[in-house]
């Protein structure tokens, strides 16, 4: 990935030529490097080959739809994904968040708002999350679960867990606050930043992913428990 924000690359996945051109014009004025795709198959290939710093993803695409593209991209990396949706696609918004999208914006949207959301996502890159939330501790232990923030590994019963960067950072934050009830907003601020303006449901999605990897019975969690009316608590 690029080193400075004004050189960041954005993959724009949009099949409407008018919207695509408007995005290209506005984002290139902000000094972003644009990669364009008008269908899902091409988007998956470009995401893999070009390794963009952020992806703008329309849900309604020919061939493979945006939800399938989101799932495919998220299975391989943690690049920020902002969905472009119609106001009538509330169910698709929820599904998109569950599949790993970081944020969404509804059409018709303000270009100023979109650019603000892009900048927020890029500011809170994975590298910054790691530096700010793993510096205080090197090794965290909780019974048969061990996190090493130096080697960036997590092991359960001696077996290494396959955690995406944001999952790792979330688990680290929860373990650092063992026994403390944390609200979704506290978690969002700690990991996504105080200026995050996306949906709090993204916290629920990441918690569910962690439970699937940590809990013997994910729907009856013992380690990461729900605190009704507040959020979540790591019990060990």
Kindly report, residue by residue over 82-135, the tens digit of the pLDDT.
Answer: 999 876 666 677 778 778 888 888 888 899 999 998 988 887 755 454 554 545
The per-residue pLDDT for 35 is: 96
Terminal-residue alpha carbon distance, the chain: 36
- Alpha-carbon torsion angle 134, 145, 99, 192, nearest 10: -20
Look at 149 and 47; give whichever has higher pLDDT: 47
204's enclosing H/E stretch is helix 201-214
Residue 6 has pLDDT above 90, yes or no: no
Rounded CA separation 43/111 (Å): 22
The per-residue pLDDT for 90 is: 66
Strand order in the sheet with 145-148: 139-142, 145-148, 153-156, 159-160
Look at 129 and 182; give whichever has higher pLDDT: 182
SS3 168: helix
pLDDT, one tens digit per residue, over 190-206 is 887 766 666 778 888 88
Strands (E), 89-203: 103-107, 139-142, 145-148, 153-156, 159-160, 182-183
Rounded CA separation 188/161 (Å): 23
Mean pLDDT of the chain: 85
The per-residue pLDDT for 54 is: 95
Residue 178 phi, psi dihedral angles, 5° rounding: -55, 130
> What's the alpha-carbon Rg for the chain, to the nearest Å?
18
The per-residue pLDDT for 96 is: 80
Rounded CA separation 177/3 (Å): 32
Give percent of the chain above pLDDT 70. Answer: 86
**pLDDT band at residue 180 under the 50/70/90 scheme:** very high
The per-residue pLDDT for 189 is: 85
Structure token pair of residue 198: 């996306």
The per-residue pLDDT for 192 is: 77
- Alpha-carbon torsion angle 56, 60, 64, 68, nearest 10: 60
Task: Delineate the domains of the chain, giving CATH numbers in brackets.
Answer: 5-123 (3.40.50.2300), 128-234 (1.10.10.10)
The per-residue pLDDT for 125 is: 59
């Amino acid at each position: 990935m690029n080193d400075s924000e004004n050189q960041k690359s954005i993959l724009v996945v949009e099949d409407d030529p008018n919207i695509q051109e408007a995005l290209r014009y506005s984002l290139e004025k902000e000094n972003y490097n644009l990669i364009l795709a008008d269908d899902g198959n091409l988007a998956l290939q470009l995401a893999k080959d070009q390794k963009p710093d952020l992806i703008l993803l329309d849900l309604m695409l020919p061939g493979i739809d945006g939800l399938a593209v989101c799932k495919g991209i998220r299975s391989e990396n943690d690049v920020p994904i902002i969905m472009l949706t119609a106001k009538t696609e509330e169910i698709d918004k929820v599904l998109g968040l569950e599949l790993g999208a970081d944020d969404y914006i509804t059409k018709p949207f303000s270009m100023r708002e979109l650019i603000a959301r892009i900048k927020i996502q890029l500011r809170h890159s994975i590298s910054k999350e790691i530096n700010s939330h793993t510096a205080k501790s090197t090794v965290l232990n909780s019974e048969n679960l061990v996190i090493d923030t130096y080697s960036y590994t997590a092991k359960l019963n001696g077996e290494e867990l396959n955690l995406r960067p944001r999952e790792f950072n979330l688990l680290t934050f929860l373990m650092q606050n063992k026994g403390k009830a944390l609200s979704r907003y506290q978690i969002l601020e700690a990991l996504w930043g105080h200026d995050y303006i996306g949906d709090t449901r993204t916290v629920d999605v990441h918690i569910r992913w962690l439970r699937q990897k940590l809990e013997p019975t994910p729907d009856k969690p013992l380690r990461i428990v729900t605190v009704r009316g507040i959020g979540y608590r790591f019990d060990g």
